[in-house]
Amino acid sequence: AKIVDGVVTPYASGEHAWEMSVLRVRQSWWDKHKDEFERLDGEPLRKWCAQQHQDKDFATVVVVTDFAACGYSANEGLIGMMGE
């Protein structure tokens, strides 16, 4: 997801943008790198889950930017912090 003017929005655009923004990674990779990413939590996560009809106990929403330093590449997906 991206945060634009304080609003959580899908990274992808167009029809079915949230579905197009979904990423899948191996659990072992996520366990190793999850702390490298900004994630929604608290009230923003609760609101997103309510809007998207998701269970907050199972939802993970990674907040990305257009800068590689956020650990996301539009070409490669989640890449983590390079060199770490």
- For the chain, the domains span 2-78
What lies within 8 Å, CB to CB, of 63 at 6+ separation is 1, 2, 3, 8, 37, 38, 39, 40, 70
| CA atoms of 30 and 68, how far apart (whole Å) | 18
Average pLDDT of the residues in 9-38: 90
pLDDT of residue 45: 95
Q: Is pTM beyond 0.85 here?
A: no
Closest CA to 80 of 21, 41, 25: 25
pLDDT tens digits along 33-62: 899 889 999 999 999 999 999 999 999 999
Structure confidence at residue 68 as a pLDDT band (50, 70, 90): low
